Amino acid sequence: MHELLLFASVPLHQHHELRQQLAGLTAMQPRHRLERRLIFKAYRKPGVITTRVGASQDVQGVDLQRLNKMLNGGMYYTQVVGPVLHENFAAAGVTRGEGDDPDAAMSGIHESQKDSLSHSTYDYESQSWKLEFRDIPEAGTRSAVTARLMASAGLPKGDIVEPMNAWGYGFVTEYVVEGDIFILNDIVIFLHRVLRYPSESSDPHAPRGQLPSFEQMKPLDKSGSYVLQAAITVQDGGNQETMRTASQHLFGLREQLRSAVRLEQADRLSLDTRAK
Q: Which residue ranges make up the site for other proteins (CB under 8 A)?
A: 1, 27-29, 31, 181, 183, 185-186, 188, 232-236, 239, 241-242, 245-246
Nearer to other proteins, 132 or 221 (CB): 132
- What minimum distance in Å lies between the beta carbon of 115 and other proteins? 23
Query: Is the CB of residue 195 less than 8 Å from the CB of residue 226?
Result: no
- What minimum distance in Å lies between the beta carbon of 1 and other proteins? 5
Contacts by 231-234 with C-beta closer than 8 Å and gap 24+? 231/3, 231/4, 231/5, 231/187, 231/188, 231/189, 231/190, 232/3, 232/4, 232/186, 232/187, 232/188, 233/1, 233/2, 233/3, 233/4, 233/150, 233/188, 234/1, 234/2, 234/3, 234/4
Rounded to 5 degrees, φ, ψ at 38 are -105, 135
- What minimum distance in Å lies between the beta carbon of 31 and other proteins? 7
- Largest Cα separation within the chain, whole Å, is 57
Query: Is the CB of residue 243 less than 8 Å from the CB of residue 237?
Result: yes
Nearer to other proteins, 95 or 185 (CB): 185
Nearer to other proteins, 161 or 227 (CB): 227
- What minimum distance in Å lies between the beta carbon of 3 and other proteins? 9
Nearer to other proteins, 31 or 218 (CB): 31
Q: Which of 144, 226, 243 is nearest to 189 (CA)?
A: 226
- What minimum distance in Å lies between the beta carbon of 225 and other proteins? 24
